[in-house]
Structure 1
């Protein structure tokens, strides 16, 4: 697979992933105390962090999107 996630996209994904994990584990908001929303935020947050780290987004590959400028 080729790199398809650019620098700005990478930083935004990492930030969103961290925010979702903080909301899920440390926010104390009633919305995130339920099972589904909490676990969905954790899964989406981890996916965002992993795609930012490896710079490959499978959905971008399917749709032919590249934000890396190569």
Structure 2
């Protein structure tokens, strides 16, 4: 069941790509912060957020 709206998905996907690029572009231990981008990209692609599901939050529109 999708619970993430289009704008939310797009923003998560873009931020995820930027963070994931840190694995290649940044030196030192900060590059591992780029791993945070993986769940953001997956949420953007799938449209489902586990945290939203637990909290009962939906940012997508419900169709009648």
Where on the TM-score scale, by shorter chain, does this alignment land: which range?
A: 0.7 to 0.9
- Cα-Cα RMSD: 1.3
Residues in 1 aligned to 2:28 and 2:22: alpha-carbon distance in whole angstroms: 12
Structure 2, unpaired ranges of 5+:
none
Task: Count the aligned residue pairs.
Answer: 62
Which 4+ runs in 1 deviate beyond 6 A?
none
When normalised by structure 2's length, the TM-score is 0.84
Structure 1-normalised TM-score? 0.78
Candidates 28, 34, 42, aligned match of 2:28 = 34
Deviation at 1:59, TM superposition (A): 0.3
For structure 1, list consecutive stretches of 5 or more residues without a partner in the other structure.
27-31
SS in 1 for 2:8: helix
Match of 2:46 in 1: 54
